Amino acid sequence: MGRSPCCEKAHTNKGAWTKEEDERLVAYIKEHGEGCWRSLPKAAGLLRCGKSCRLRWINYLRPDLKRGNFTEEEDELIIKLHSLLGNKWSLIAGRLQGRTDNEIKNYWNTHIRRKLLSRGIDPTTHRPLHGQADISFAKEEEKGESFVRREEENKSNNSNSNSNSNSSSSSEEPKRWRCPDLNLELGINPSSLKQEDSDEYFMGEELGLCFRNGLLEFR
């Protein structure tokens, strides 16, 4: 279901407003205020649509309307507000004293857009027209830098793990080869060994050593 029309359009005047209609509308609002625009035309004795009365008052008959060209300060304020609010003309008009939303929208499309384009600025994004390529390049450069950082971190972590493994292996290596309970006495001359004592020692053929009475000697 759509919204019902504000009035019977078959019994309303259309086209340009007359001076008499303007005077009736201004006199009623000065006395009673704006109120409800749907009921205002009948109360003011106007054969007009409520929407038509509202637009006529806001855009042409308000006493605080500012006439004339936009100033340079107003141009910069519109540009700033548009970068924040986009095409929300009613909100922008609420921050420009005496200007209407329709007036600002028309002025934007006919003047300010051209001004921004002449400055090399996109009127929609308010960024430089060549900024998209710069942004893409910056993103790619950032990706490259992050990749290099990750590689350096991986190398650093690998080197730390290797150093830790080497230190642990070096600390364990003496434990594998240490024989704390073995008393080693090396002899140069094996001629002192007697043949009858051969059953008391073990001969190491590969190492050239003999073990006799708890002593290790060169063969």
pLDDT at 14: 86
CA distance 92 to 112: 14
In the CATH scheme, what architecture does the domain 72-118 have? Orthogonal Bundle (1.10)
- pLDDT, tens digit, for every residue of 16-60? 999 999 999 999 999 999 889 999 999 999 999 999 999 999 889
What average pLDDT does range 174-189 have in this prediction? Answer: 48
Angle at 32 between CA 26 and CA 37, to 5 degrees: 75
Strand, coil or helix: 8: coil
CATH architecture of 9-61: Orthogonal Bundle (1.10)
Q: What is residue 161's predicted lDDT score, i.e. its pLDDT?
A: 62
Lowest-confidence range among 15-19, 78-82, 199-203, 210-214?
199-203
Return the half-sphere exposure (C-beta side, CA atoms, 13 A cut-off) of residue 111.
14
Q: 34 vs 28, 31, 38, 43, 137, CA distance in Å?
A: 8, 9, 11, 11, 55
CB-based contacts of 92, cutoff 8 Å, min separation 6: 78, 81, 82, 85, 101, 104
Number of H helices, E strands in the chain: 8, 3
Judged against a pLDDT cut of 80, whether residue 90 lies above it is answered with yes
Please compute the mean of the pLDDT values over residues 169-178 and round it to a whole number. 47
* Residue range 97-119: mean pLDDT, rounded: 93
**CB neighbour class for 127 (10 Å; exposed up to 12, middle 13-18, buried from 19):** middle
- In this predicted structure, what is the pLDDT of residue 136? 46
> What are the sequence ranges of the domains in the chain?
9-61, 72-118, 132-157, 178-219
Is the pLDDT confidence value at 166 over 50?
yes
Name which residue leads in pLDDT, 162 or 175: 162
Collapse the DSSP code of 96 into the 3-class scheme (helix H, G, I; strand E, B; otherwise coil) and give the result: coil
Report percent pLDDT > 70 for the chain: 56
Q: Would the pLDDT of 88 be above 80?
A: yes
The 10s digit of each residue's pLDDT in 121-145 is 999 999 998 754 455 445 555 655 6
Long-range CB pairs of 189-197, under 8 A, 24+ apart, other chains included: 190/217, 190/218, 190/219, 193/217
Cα separation, 99 vs 79, whole angstroms: 15
Average pLDDT, rounded, for the chain: 75
Residues sharing a CB contact under 8 Å with residue 101, sequence separation 6 or more, in sequence order? 89, 90, 92, 93
Domains 9-61 and 72-118 belong to one CATH topology? yes
